[in-house]
Amino acid sequence: MDFATLKTLRPADFEDAADGYRASRDMASTAKDTLNGQVPGGMRTALRGEAVEAAVKQLQKLSESFHYVQVECGLMVTSLTTLAGELRAAQKKLAAALEAARAGGCSVNPDGSVRYPPGGDKVDGEIPAGGTVRGSASAQGSSAPIDLADDTNDTASALRDQAANQHPNPYYGRAQEYADRIAQAVADATEADERWAPQIRRLKADDDLHVSHADWADAGRDREGAQGAATEYVQGIDAPPKNGDPEGNAEWWKGLSRDEKAAYVALNPASVGALDGLPAEVRDEANRVVLVETRGRYETELQAIPARPAGGDERKDWDDKHEKRYEHLKGRLDGMATIQSRFDRVGQDGLPEAYLLGFDAEANKDGRVIIANGNPDTADHTAIYVPGTKTDLESIEDETSKGEALWRESSSLAPSQSVSTITWFDYDAPRTAKPFVEGDILPEAQSDDYARRGAPQLRSFLDGSEAAHRIATGESAHATLIGHSYGSTLIGDTAKHTSEYRPFSISDPLPVDDVVAVGSPGMQARHAADLGFEFGHMWAMGGGGDDKWVREGGRYAGLGGDGVIPTDPEFGANIMESDAEGHGEFWDEEDGVASLSLRNQANVIVGRYGDVALKREASW
């Protein structure tokens, strides 16, 4: 870019273009949300049959196209807005330099060089002549320290300053300063143009209506490029509190402008999606971007792996080179397909919209999945379900199905109220390659090490959920925390967890109304009161078969407190009746009818305590 171009440039043209892309982004977002939730939900409520499901599938493809448009237009908005801002800043520098030159008695030529008039004391009987100087963007004041890494520019700058000080015409030094300022403005604009032009050219889609995995992988690369180019722009936006508490995150988000929020989601969806305290809709928006781009990247990598040979040395070589990575990618993609399937089933059996509150294919070694049925920010009743041992992204379908079962039964018990059930998996769960043997306990689950490491994440999420609900409604929801197996051990350690923003205190317990321990091997406490749980609002149930071995194994391993586990009377929980015949059967449904174990949990979730079937009421 040259002087003349910068002088006549209209940054507003880029801002106008950004406004157009902004309108397209918002339109695509609205269309995507409508096609994801309202339309399929309404169709499935009013109609049944293969034709309806076929139509819904077509709508889902259309929704994905709108999502892709939304993502790419969002990047374009940020790119154009940032470019316009940088060019406008360069123009302001240029205007200031031109005004200074005029006020200093100099004039600027069409090429950006500066003419200075005759002036100064006579030399050999004549006033020193005027002249013309050209600027240098690398020039610095003589007071700047020498930079050994760039000593050529520093030396040139020092020589220029020395020449200006020794020149007999005082206008010479001023003219050189103005020329340098003009050159620096042009250099800033050129650097912005060279940095952003390739990014903007790259933001274009294929000329078809199909959004492929390769397209999503490419969108991820577009974002990485935009992130690198927009460093200065992002630095100009207040960053979220470093290691901040969820309430601080919530306040930070409220303080951003609409465009700043959009830019943060467009450039940093993974960071936004992981911030506890932000609205569920915002986290869902960000995490869905992370999901589709991760899925596209993994699918592209998987397809690039050659087919496995039938046998011989070639097969052995393939196994050595590719098998481990192939199985990893395949397993993670299976988990992502489960999440997408939940999105696609909105309206089936009355299922509400899903909210992806957390997603990372590699976090905590086994991945991160936090998914809600219904919006927890506005729900009257919210349940957070924490799974136990051997949970990972690959097996998340079993855990999300429990969250769905809890939603169906809870909603049926409180039809006039809104319910949200959340499957929370954001910790590294104990696991083992050894097959389960009756009477044995998983080696990695014989201590609360995994629970202690996962406690900060769970506490932060609970505080964030509480903060988001209060901001959305002005009050707290009735919240129930359910832990299955080792998940209940994690709840126990979370109740005792101390952090910088929230030290443990019995008088400041977890921000939930009820806690349910299902098939619990122990909660690292002898009594519910030791964890700050309100008397009468701690619940526990056990089952038959292998569930008994899990509970007794936990007692033996020391996961309880002095050998006490939640289903023991002395723990102080309401012991619920259960018809579960095994450790994983507390959420069973048959022909649409909930098991007693499931119904008891649902009654607690909606606060119908008198309808809970009890084996033994809590006592001190």
Instruction: Give the model's pLDDT for residue 213.
Output: 84
Please determine, for residue 596, whether its predicted confidence score (pLDDT) is greater than 90: yes
471 or 445: which leads in pLDDT = 471
Instruction: Give the model's pLDDT for residue 163.
Output: 65
Instruction: Give the model's pLDDT for residue 599.
Output: 98
Model pTM score: 0.85
Using pLDDT thresholds of 50, 70 and 90, give the confidence band for residue 68: confident
Alpha-carbon dihedral 292, 297, 303, 306, rounded to 10 degrees: -160
Please determine, for residue 356, whether its predicted confidence score (pLDDT) is greater than 90: yes
Instruction: With H, G, I as helix, E, B as strand and everything else as coil, classify residue 519.
Output: coil
Two structure tokens written together for 210? 């199909």
pLDDT digits (tens, 9 = 90+) for 364-423: 889 999 999 999 999 999 999 999 998 999 999 999 999 999 999 999 999 999 999 999
Instruction: Give the model's pLDDT for residue 532.
Output: 92
Residue in 397, 356, 396, 361 with CA at minimum distance from that of residue 376 = 356
Place of tokens 């465009």: 259
Which residue blocks in 421-524 are alpha helix, DSSP H? 449-473, 486-495
Average pLDDT over residues 79-105: 93
Please determine, for residue 544, whether its predicted confidence score (pLDDT) is greater than 90: yes
Instruction: Give the span between the Cα atoms of 616 and 81, in whole angstroms.
Output: 64
Instruction: Give the model's pLDDT for residue 148.
Output: 42
pLDDT digits (tens, 9 = 90+) for 32-50: 888 877 777 777 777 778 8
Q: Which residues contact 308 (CB under 8 A, 6 or more apart)?
A: 315, 318, 319, 322, 323, 326
Residue in 295, 235, 243 with CA at minimum distance from that of residue 268 = 235
Average pLDDT over residues 114-132: 91
Instruction: Give the span between the Cα atoms of 247 and 468, in whole angstroms.
Output: 8
Instruction: Give the span between the Cα atoms of 64 and 344, in whole angstroms.
Output: 11
Which residue blocks in 47-169 are alpha helix, DSSP H? 50-103, 151-166
DSSP class of residue 611? G
Instruction: Give the span between the Cα atoms of 124 and 236, in whole angstroms.
Output: 55
Whether the CB-CB separation of 44 and 129 falls below 8 Å is answered with no
Counting beta carbons within 10 angstroms of the beta carbon of residue 241, is it exposed (0 to 12), middle (13 to 18) or buried (19 or more)? middle
Query: To the nearest whole percent, how much of the chain has pLDDT over 90?
Result: 65
Average pLDDT over residues 257-268: 89
Instruction: Give the span between the Cα atoms of 255 and 261, in whole angstroms.
Output: 9
Two structure tokens written together for 340? 């997408």
Average pLDDT over residues 612-618: 96
Please determine, for residue 97, whether its predicted confidence score (pLDDT) is greater than 90: yes
Please determine, for residue 434, whether its predicted confidence score (pLDDT) is greater than 50: no
Place of tokens 């949200």: 420
Beta strands in 361-412 (DSSP E): 368-373, 381-386
Instruction: Give the span between the Cα atoms of 590 and 39, in whole angstroms.
Output: 29
pLDDT digits (tens, 9 = 90+) for 486-540: 999 999 999 988 766 666 666 678 999 999 999 999 999 999 999 999 999 999 9
Residue in 518, 574, 490 with CA at minimum distance from that of residue 402 = 518
Q: In this predicted structure, which of 67-81, 437-451, 453-467, 554-568 has the lowest mean pLDDT?
A: 437-451
Whether the CB-CB separation of 79 and 198 falls below 8 Å is answered with no
Q: Which residues contact 220 (CB under 8 A, 6 or more apart)?
A: 293, 294, 296, 297
Q: Which residues contact 604 (CB under 8 A, 6 or more apart)?
A: 480, 514, 516, 539, 612
Instruction: Provide the CATH topology of domain 360-616.
Output: Rossmann fold (3.40.50)
Counting beta carbons within 10 angstroms of the beta carbon of residue 301, is it exposed (0 to 12), middle (13 to 18) or buried (19 or more)? middle
* Strand pairing report for 593-594 and 538-541: unpaired
pLDDT digits (tens, 9 = 90+) for 469-483: 999 999 999 999 999
Using pLDDT thresholds of 50, 70 and 90, give the confidence band for residue 131: very high
C-alpha 379 chain-centroid distance? 22
Q: CA angle, 105 as apex, 103 and 107 as ends, to 5°?
A: 95
Place of tokens 């002898």: 526
pLDDT digits (tens, 9 = 90+) for 185-236: 999 999 999 888 888 888 776 666 678 888 888 888 888 888 777 776 766 7
Instruction: Give the model's pLDDT for residue 54.
Output: 83
Whether the CB-CB separation of 488 and 520 falls below 8 Å is answered with yes
Average pLDDT over residues 73-79: 89
Give, in order, the Cα–Cα distances in Å from 353 to each of 42, 68, 481.
12, 20, 21
- For the chain, the first-to-last Cα distance in angstroms comes to 79
Two structure tokens written together for 520? 């619990």
Residue in 573, 423, 407 with CA at minimum distance from that of residue 484 = 423
Residue in 256, 238, 250 with CA at minimum distance from that of residue 472 = 250
Q: How would you classify residue 526: left for phi > 0, otherwise alpha for psi between -120 and 50, otherwise beta?
A: alpha
Instruction: Give the model's pLDDT for residue 153.
Output: 56
Query: Mean pLDDT for the chain?
Result: 88
Instruction: Give the span between the Cα atoms of 395 and 503, in whole angstroms.
Output: 34
Query: To the nearest whole percent, how much of the chain has pLDDT over 70?
Result: 91
Using pLDDT thresholds of 50, 70 and 90, give the confidence band for residue 154: low
C-alpha 64 chain-centroid distance? 19
